Structures are given as structure tokens and as C-alpha cells.
Chains A and B, each alone.
Chain A
Amino acid sequence: MLLILVIGTAIAFDFTNGFHDTGNAMATSIATGALRPKVAVGLSAILNLIGAFLSVEVALTVTNAVVRLQTSSGAPNPELLVNNGHELLMIVFCGLIGGILWNLLTWLLGLPSSSSHALFGGLIGSTMAALGLGGVNWMGDGTKLDGVLGKVIMPAFASPVVAALVATIGTWLVFRITAGVAERYAETGFRWGQIGTASLVSLAHGTNDAQKTMGVITLALIAYGSWTDTTDVPLWVKFACAIAIAAGTYTGGWRIIRTLGKGLVEISSPQGMAAEASSAAVILTSSHLGFALSTTHVATGSILGSGLGKKGAEVRWGVAMRMVLAWFITLPAAGLVGAVCFWLGNGIGGFVGPLLVFALLLGLTGWMVAHSRKSAVHAGNVNEDWQPDAKPGASIAANDTADLKA
């Protein structure tokens, strides 16, 4: 029973991961009109789907980066396996809930925040609640980049800065080089480049992120005893995760797309291309060199950089600061939810505990979705002019309540 809850929650997390991150790849293409909104999310969804299948690399040890639930071979720690792995399943379950709730809350606020940080935060919190501070892999053994510090915190500080730097240089070069070209002519030409580079970001996202959920589900299956191979992921898990992330992407986190595409910088297509090229380059080189950066942090940094690199472009630092603040609290906030869920679920115990926690997840999800309807952002209004200091969607709600019900 608990296993089914864990799998369902993991797939739900994968879905939120997809729709939370659509904007990373497609926000700029949507904002400049290179792609119509629905086409953009459709293209991104297909590429995420393909990406998820391409990532056959085993991601079974994904949790090892931050917590000590598994051995380095991917097998769960034996002491967590009593009673069909009940404790491990509870930890994973509560960690996932922490990740989902944080993803939904930041979506409601229109803030792009890292889905992997939300997942890691949730897992850290539930592990701490279950096993104490020692259950968390804070910094590995110091011989390589590992643990919360080496794999989560340090990359989080560096990646937006690196991406912003690359995008600033790229944007500056692009505008220098095309100085004599008529603006409209350049705008049309760069749209093609933009579509190409944005597609690359989508594909990279699918290969990086879907496999995290695959790893988590497989870990749960092994803990329960219904899967034993630590070198492979069951085929149906691969399918389920690929479809979930693609469906999430297609749903489109329009609130986040709006913030990234319109809120941060007024973006033109040369800037969009420079930003996506920077994102793709940073994500691919870092994962090629063996340490994964958050797609969200990189994409946000790139878009910011594309504003810095263009003379006279306005960068809305207020919006940027709100995002950075959200990044700072992602880990502790998701962790807190994970920990509370574990205390609640484990304290009540039996099968009532997990069910209650699950009901809590459903309830809060329902509340947030209902709340988002009040100022819905969707494909039709995602590109409306940005009103300074407005809450996401607030400026929209005022002038087109008519098609909210559509």
C-alpha cells in the first residue's frame, strides 16, 4: 500500500518537475514570439520525452548525493529494510511530498525555483526526522565534490553567475556583430536560432531530470523487495517517468514562463538566442564534467545576463531578488515539509499515518490550484505586458477575466 503511494507521489513529483521547468527552455521563445505558446510547450514536451528515454544511464544512486539511505552500489541500507522497507519508503514518500508542495507553492507565486533542490530538500528533511543529523550526507568525505555542500549549495551559488556571465558576453557579441543589420531582419533570423537552442535545453532537461525520479522509484521498489537489479531501472518506470515529465511540460507552468519571459528582462530574439545558447552550454558542459547544475538556476542566470549584455536593456532586479530569495529557502522549506510529514505519518503509524499525509498533500494541492484560478495565467495571456510590482497574474486578472473560465 505504502509502495503504491510512494510510486504515485514520485510520478506526481515528476509531473510538477516538468511543468515547473517548461519556462527554463521555452520562456524566451514564447516571449519573443518565435514560437506560439502552445507550440513551444508541445515541442518542449516531445523533447523531454525523448530526453527521458535517452537517459538510460542508471540513476539509482541519485539520493546518495544528499542522504545516506543507500550503499554506493545503489542497494538500500539493510537497517532500513525491516518490515518491507517501511522506514525507507516513509522517508522517500515524505521527501517527495516536500518537493511537490514547494514546487506548487513557488509556481503559485510565479517563481522559478529548482525542482531538484526541492526534491533534495524534502529528502534531507524527512531523513533528518527519521535518522537524525547523521543520516544526511553533508559534505561527503572531502576527496571529491559530494554531499549537500558540494553537490547542492556550492553549485547553486555559482551556476547563475556563470550562466549570466556567458549570456552577457554572448548578447554583447551578438549586438556588436549585427550592428549594421536592420532590426526587423535580425529579429526574424534569430528566432530560428532561438528555437534550435531552446530545443537543446529541453532535451538536456529531459535527460537530467526524469532519471532522478526513475532512481527514486526504483529505490522504493528495491526496498519493498519487488525489484532486485541495482544496475537497471524497470521498463515501466522509465515509461511512467518519461510520460509524466512530458505531460507536466505540456501543461506548461504558465505563471513561471511569464516571470522568466516577461518579468526579468524585456527580451528580444537575439537576446533569447544568446540566453538559451548559454543555458545549453553551461548545462551540457557541467553534466559532461560530472556535476549537474540546476537547469532553473542556469536558465534564470542566462536570461538575466541577456539583459545585462544589451545596452539600455532594463533588468528588473526586484523580480530577480525575489527569485534568489526563493532559492535560498527552497532547501529548508521543502525539508521542513518533508520532516513534518515524516513526524506526522510515522507518529500516527500503521497505514493511517501515510494515508493522512497523502490526504494532506491532496488537500494543499487542491487549495493551491484553486487559489491559482483567481488570477490564472495561460497560453492566451502569458505575454501580456509586465506591470511592475504586480503579483503574477494580478495585472492580467484585472483586464481579461472574461476568458479565465476557458
Chain B
Amino acid sequence: MFQLFGVAISQVVAISILVGAGLPALFAFGIRALAAGAGGNAEVSGAVGKPAMKVLAWVLFALVLAVIAVGLAVIVSSGFGYKVSFEHFFPTFIEK
């Protein structure tokens, strides 16, 4: 029993750290880039804004949204008898 639990919980830990800490980190990079793009008051250094960084910021935010969309797909699909498989890296729906 304890062994079973150990296996299950270590999987949760591994995936949660990847997603649960990775996602805020990604978002933080987005904010960082957005601030660099805006420049001036947005930055502690008060440097001049670099517009290209703004594009990078929105790419990062889009990535965050995509991850959240996968999260939603996981919740919704399990309710309808499907599960999301990451077998081919890109999430696909398969029947349970």
C-alpha cells in the first residue's frame, strides 16, 4: 500500500512541478518580456522599450493559454468517457 502510494504521489509531484511551477514561470517570462518591450516605468532600470520584446511576450502568453486549454481538455474529456493522450507528444483524444 505504501509503495503504491509512493509511486502515485511521485508521479503527481513530477508532473505538478513541471506544469504547476513551469506555467507561472513561463507567464513570468512573458511579463518580463512585456516590461522590456514597454520600457520606462515598467522596468526598474527605466531602460527604453524594445518593441520586439512585446511580440515575444505575446508568444509566451499564447503558449500559457495553450497549456491551460490542454488542462481544460483533460477535465472535460474525462467526463465524456475520453482521455487525453500525450503519446505522440501533441495531446490527442482517445476513448477510455
Residues of A within 8 A of B (CB): 51, 54-57, 139, 142, 144-145, 149-150, 154-155, 158, 162-163, 165-167, 169-171, 173-174, 177-182, 185-186, 189-190, 193, 196-197, 200, 203-204, 207, 270, 273-274, 277-282, 284-291, 293
Q: CA of A190 to CA of B32 in the docked complex: distance in angstroms?
A: 11
Per DSSP, chain A at the interface is helix
B42 contact from A54, A55, A185, A282, Cβ within 8 A: A185
List the A side residues contacting B31 at CB < 8 Å. Answer: 177-178, 181, 185-186, 189-190
**Contact indicator A207/B79 (Cβ below 8 Å):** yes
Q: CA of A56 to CA of B27 in the docked complex: distance in angstroms?
A: 32
List the B side residues contacting A144 at CB < 8 Å. Answer: 4
**Contact indicator A162/B12 (Cβ below 8 Å):** yes
B44 contact from A145, A180, A281, Cβ within 8 A: A180
Q: CA of A92 to CA of B49 in the docked complex: distance in angstroms?
A: 64
**Contact indicator A166/B20 (Cβ below 8 Å):** yes
Residues of B within 8 A of A (CB): 1-2, 4-5, 8-9, 11-13, 15-17, 19-21, 23-25, 27-32, 34-35, 38, 41-45, 64, 68, 71-72, 74-76, 78-81, 83
Least CB separation from B45: chain A residue: A180
* Top 7 A-B pairs, shortest CB-CB distance: A281-B20, A170-B21, A177-B28, A278-B20, A181-B35, A169-B21, A173-B25
**Contact indicator B32/A200 (Cβ below 8 Å):** no
**Contact indicator A200/B79 (Cβ below 8 Å):** no
B32 contact from A54, A171, A178, A277, Cβ within 8 A: A178
Least CB separation from B35: chain A residue: A181
List the A side residues contacting B64 at CB < 8 Å. Answer: 193, 196
Q: CA of A301 to CA of B4 in the docked complex: distance in angstroms?
A: 23
Q: CA of A200 to CA of B64 in the docked complex: distance in angstroms?
A: 13
Known A145-B1, A204-B75; further 20 A-B contacts with Cβ < 8 A: A54-B75, A54-B76, A57-B78, A154-B1, A158-B5, A162-B12, A162-B16, A170-B25, A174-B25, A181-B31, A181-B43, A181-B44, A197-B23, A200-B71, A203-B72, A207-B79, A278-B21, A285-B15, A286-B12, A289-B12
